[in-house]
Structure 1
């Protein structure tokens, strides 16, 4: 399907590479149950089965729009898209999201689904970080931005971020809809994220201005 759309192929991990990363990561897990911290699309579409979900906070981390998509998901090489990644940010206020608990007996099966979704290719590092929620502090699995990957571009200007989100589109939809969905999820959860609010306002203004421009 990708070739028929003129999109690049061969950039994804093999099953063996993906499984090796999963096995190495799970071998380091600090608890038998697996907590998973979600900061983006996993919040509304986790795909795996879980027994519990809680509002959670990840100190020392930030949700940043630095994940460049040129492979056809929500952007292409001609019109790049942009999505959120979790980045280390020791001096920031931390990142709010959701924590899902996968019971120990289901970790093997459900983590395989999680890796097939989140570790398709390079861009992330599978790591355990401390998260806080009503039950206290719990180490949770998450997927951190890998700055050595060409898909992570932390130096993007705000104007470039807005342009890519406003114009990026692919087989999964538009980058703008991705941002809108995050904002809707936050509204439902009563999570205040001034950066998301401000970014969405500027993206909507960019889209409206482009629609009003005569062709």
Structure 2
């Protein structure tokens, strides 16, 4: 199945893909890491009060989910992903090899953070991330809910990301102090 069509998700696509798929497998993408490195002015913030969303920043490796898409569904899935992942074109579409949990190596569509885009936040301290996430709200809801969902769903998949947990604790403490 060398010409199979795969999509790699590392954030909300892991638990809320929103498209039909033929197979769902835990996968690891080398050379990139999960990070709150993109200013959100659409889904989780506004231009006046940006939040932060996940991106695939350079370095490390990231565990996520790979989805095999049936060829008959590819056009519909691809159009959906462009609409979902590219509202402000902060990601660069790419094809990268991922290692599936069953040891297969497949090429998948990924959306990489565009480090040259004005919404690229880069490597921020946990404190600065918490400051941006606390209180931010966009078309898809509160930024803290996105972070909370991430930590919860990563845990359900057996991924315990200490930095994401620490960030959530900082954001919740900040929001409680301003309630």
Normalized against structure 1, the TM-score is what? 0.77
Residue of structure 2 equivalent to 1:142? 110
Distance 1:160 1:77 in 2: 17
Taking a change above 3 Å as real, the CA distance of residues 190 and 153 of structure 1, as seen in their structure-2 partners, is same
* Aligned: 1:64 with 2:35: yes
Residue of structure 2 equivalent to 1:37? 8
Residue of structure 1 equivalent to 2:49? 79
**Shift of residue 155, structure 1, vs aligned partner:** 4.3
**Shift of residue 70, structure 1, vs aligned partner:** 2.5
* Structure holding more strand per residue: 2
Distance 1:171 1:208 in 2: 23
Residue of structure 2 equivalent to 1:100? 67
2:133/2:171 contact within 8 Å kept: yes
Distance 2:13 2:149 in 1: 11
Taking a change above 3 Å as real, the CA distance of residues 135 and 103 of structure 1, as seen in their structure-2 partners, is farther
The correspondence for 1:201, drawn from 163, 169, 175, is 169
Distance 1:187 1:47 in 2: 20
Distance 1:80 1:162 in 2: 12
1:54/1:98 contact within 8 Å kept: yes
Q: How many residues align?
A: 178
* Aligned: 1:46 with 2:17: yes
Structure 1: give runs of 5+ residues left out of the alignment: 1-29
Deviation readout 1:63-114 (Å, 9 max, x if unpaired) = 110110134x21123322111101221xx2x111111110223212221222
Normalized against structure 2, the TM-score is what? 0.92
| Aligned partner of residue 161 in structure 1, secondary structure | helix
| Aligned partner of residue 64 in structure 1, secondary structure | strand
* Rg larger in structure: 1
Distance 1:113 1:190 in 2: 28
Distance 1:116 1:170 in 2: 16
Structure 2: give runs of 5+ residues left out of the alignment: none
2:6/2:67 contact within 8 Å kept: yes
* Aligned: 1:170 with 2:170: no
Q: How does 1:145-160 map to 2 (within 5 A)?
A: 145-160=113-128
Deviation readout 1:112-171 (Å, 9 max, x if unpaired) = 222221123321110011211114221111000001111111043332211111121122
Distance 1:183 1:169 in 2: 18
**Shift of residue 199, structure 1, vs aligned partner:** 1.1
Residue of structure 1 equivalent to 2:154? 186
